[in-house]
Amino acid sequence: MTTPLVEIQGARKVYEHEGKRLEVLKGIDLTINAGEMVSIVGPSGAGKSTLLHLIGTLDMPTSGVVRLDGKNVTSMSSSAVAALRNRTIGFVFQFHHLLPEFTALENVMMPGMIQGGISRAVLTEKATKLLREVGLEHRVTHRPGELSGGEQQRVALARALVLEPKLLLADEPTGNLDTANSDAIHALFHELNRNHGTTMVLVTHNVDLARSIPRVVTMRDGSVERDEVVETHNAYGATPPSS
């Protein structure tokens, strides 16, 4: 029997401030298997980003258990969790957080340069291949300020994948993009999932993106309201155009 890549059991998250308690997550149970694409949807304040942070081990639950790749991260030291996160998870956020003084290629290479253990030649080859996959082979020497918003987000996506993570987490990855660039990024998620088998969990308000993903987790008031496999309307089969 295959071990789930992500397993959350009874996760609660409570914040306390000036004597007041705010329960953001109310006993979440969620299992995600390798290779799945999952969207997390729901109104603002439902707890979507908090749940994503628990999945990504950026935060820990107040109570409950989070397992990543078969390991109970809630019982591990912070350094061990960080090491597991670095080799298992890639992140894409609404804001790309690219380093402005470095080229697109250097930005994609950066996680490998920080982690070490990979030769510069191998890292350059991997980063160049990923930039080609996201349609930016002609932009490798450009800095972020010379790229469009859609191109910057594609660089961020390539950067998240350069260490070949098992899991990619995205929080509103197209929130700052126009429709054309959003569609191109959506197509890339599907293409990269097919080509690499990377498990993907995406928090989104974008209805088109949510509808294109076969499993939808709907949250409301800190709880999972629905967790369903849906009939997708995926128009993202083709390689996206460059912007």
Rounded to 5 degrees, φ, ψ at 155 are: -60, -45
pLDDT band at 1 (very low <50, low <70, confident <90, very high): low
Query: What average pLDDT does the segment 20-42 reach?
Result: 92
What letter does residue 4 receive in the DSSP assignment? Answer: P
Predicted confidence at residue 225, as pLDDT, reads 92
Pairwise CA distance, residues 123 & 127, whole Å: 6
The position carrying tokens 């996160």 is 85
Alpha-carbon gap, residue 115 to 126, rounded angstroms: 15
pLDDT tens digits along 164-177: 899 999 988 777 77
- Give the whole-angstrom CA distance, residue 30 versus residue 1: 17
At 231 the pLDDT is: 66
48 three-class SS: helix
What distance in Å separates the CA atoms of residue 180 and residue 140, rounded to the nearest whole number? 22
Contacts of 87 (CB under 8 A, 6+ apart): 163, 165
Residue 240 pLDDT class (50, 70, 90 cuts): very low
Confidence of residue 183 (pLDDT cuts 50, 70, 90): confident
Token readout for 70 is 């078969």
Q: What is the pTM of this model?
A: 0.85
Q: How far apart are CA 178 and CA 155, in angstroms?
A: 17
- The fold for domain 6-229 equals Rossmann fold (3.40.50)
CA atoms within 13 A on the CB side of 92: 32
